[in-house]
Amino acid sequence: MTSRLLLPAALRRYAGERAEVEINSGTLGAALDDLAERLPQLERRLRDEQGRLRPHVLMFVDGVSVRTGAPMETPVPDGVEVFVAPAVSGGNR
Amino acid sequence: MGLAILLIGTRKGLMIARSIDDRRTWATNDFQFLNQEVYSVAVDTRHDPPRIFAGVGSGHWGPLLTYSDDLGTSWTEPKEPAIGFPEGSDASVARVWQIQPATADQPDVIYAGVEPHALFRSDDRGQSFALVEGLWENPDRPSWVPGGGGACLHTVLVHPTDPDDVMVVMSAAGVYRTRDGGASWEPANRGIQAAYLPEDQRFPVFGQCVHKVAYHPDRPQRLFAQNHFGVYRSEDRGGSWTAIESGLPSNFGFSLVVHPHQPDTIYNFPLQADAERFPPEAKCRVYRSENAGASWEPLSAGLPKDPYYAAVLRDAMVADSGDPAGVYFGTRLGEVYASRDGGDGWSMIASHLPDVLSLRVAEVA
């Protein structure tokens, strides 16, 4: 039971230059815990060392932003796309 | 001096300059860590080959502390993050502000200062870092506030002969010292003003926005500080501080460097004020004191003559160990200037870069 994590260009180097990688279905937190085992350099760019989504990372599960509430508890149904993007708020000056 | 390298950390990447002719000319390589800030760099020459470090940050993807054992040709990112707060601390590293190798007697020890205010220590040459709990648990910490650049621990000073005696400098918390290897820390700010506080509160025990502290290893009891309004000297390793700003055009600035061979010689780059972060009179000038701050002289030979409006940040001025000593500074205009005669004459060795955040220089072969 898997879903697809779609990566922006800036993160593909941490996924073997792939534009997407498989992640487990379940909750977003569990999927990223599993990702941390397989692609730790990718996962640490999405979440901080406390397992929180980084402040300027956007994630959409099946088209819905998970920024508010408890992002890591978000259900990730089988077969959906999880889209990652840099927030426009986080760019360097 | 054989092969010298100058690490130039900028707002949007790292440039490495190399010199093989005793610092007469410098060649730069490709720009690295594109679009990522490089707030801290370090050269650890205690092993062969030397290891260079970079504290890299992205506005989106978090901080990275990485190193290279081939002078920047390739970089290593450990499988486990090199630096991070322990689980349950409810804190995360926002930026690596300082990477400081300890003394030659502790060849595997590296310190790192981060935002939020915290000190980390590595005992394996930077592969992994552990939080220095004694500082993190200091009872003053809840009252520490961020400086304009953030809640940064930006300077680490290890005593040259007593590894248990370490000082850190934080904006805006001030100077703290441990004498027991990091278990306990005491503020060391007596005499340093916090000019931005109400008049009757301007000499607090802590809370000063000290921008940089430096010392000469032959005189570890003597410290020099560039403060947020104030330039100071301490003769008792931070027990008390005395103003040494008479003769400077301004007591505001960020950088401060001690000459590598002359403990009485120091350099800074004054700025007009916190609300006017430009060189006084728009003149690009380094100031030098050769008597520990009793008097100062401007140095401008070879520096731009046109009005100059760029600042020099706290880690963007360094000195090398050559003879005569080299002094370097980088500006927020993306220019790097070097002197190979202790500041008497200057030349531009890099330009058209993003604003310069950090410099380190070393002889590596």
Q: What confidence score (pLDDT) does residue A91 get?
A: 62
From chain A, the residues in CB contact with B60 under 8 A are 10, 45, 54, 56-57, 86-87, 90-91
Q: What is the mean pLDDT of chain A?
A: 94
This complex has an ipTM of 0.93
Is A11 touching B (CB cutoff 8 A)? yes
Is A87 touching B (CB cutoff 8 A)? yes
Output DSSP code: residue B305: -
Residue A89 vs residue B110, higher pLDDT: B110
User: C-alpha angle B320/B324/B327, rounded to 5°?
Assistant: 40
3-state secondary structure B30-42: CCECCCCEEEEEE
Whether residues A40 and B80 touch (CB distance < 8 A) is answered with: yes
Cβ atoms of residues B31 and B13 within 8 Å: yes
Distance CA B238, CA B155 (A): 14
| DSSP code string of A43-86 | HHHHB-TTSPBPTTEEEEETTEE--SS-GGG-EE-TT-EEEEEE
Whether residues B85 and A49 touch (CB distance < 8 A) is answered with: yes
| DSSP code string of B199-225 | GGGSS-SS---EEEEE--TT-TT-EEE
Whether residues B60 and A44 touch (CB distance < 8 A) is answered with: no
Q: Which residues of B322-343 are buried (b: 16+ CB within 10 A; e: fewer)?
A: bebbbbbbbbbbbbbbbbbebb
User: Confidence class of residue A93 from pLDDT cuts 50, 70 and 90?
Assistant: low
CB atoms within 10 A of CB B252: 25
Q: Could you give the dihedral angle defined by the CA atoms of residues A42, A48, A53 and A59, in that order, rounded to the nearest 10 degrees?
A: -20
Q: What is the mean pLDDT of residues B150-157?
A: 97
Q: pLDDT by residue (tens digit) across B252-296?
A: 999 999 999 999 999 999 999 999 999 999 999 999 999 999 999
- What are the residue boundaries of the structural domains of chain A, listed by start? 2-90
- What are the residue boundaries of the structural domains of chain B, listed by start? 98-363
User: C-alpha angle B344/B289/B285, rounded to 5°?
Assistant: 55
Distance CA B257, CA B41 (A): 16
Q: pLDDT by residue (tens digit) across B45-56?
A: 999 999 999 999
Whole-model pTM: value is: 0.96
State which CATH number among 3.10.20.30, 3.40.720.10, 3.30.70.60, 3.30.450.40 fits the domain covering A2-90. Answer: 3.10.20.30
Topology (CATH level 3) of domain B98-363: Methylamine Dehydrogenase; Chain H (2.130.10)
- The encoded tokens of residue A57 equal 């990372």
* A54, A57, A88, best to mutate vs chain B, most B CBs in 10 Å: A54
Distance CA B217, CA B211 (A): 20
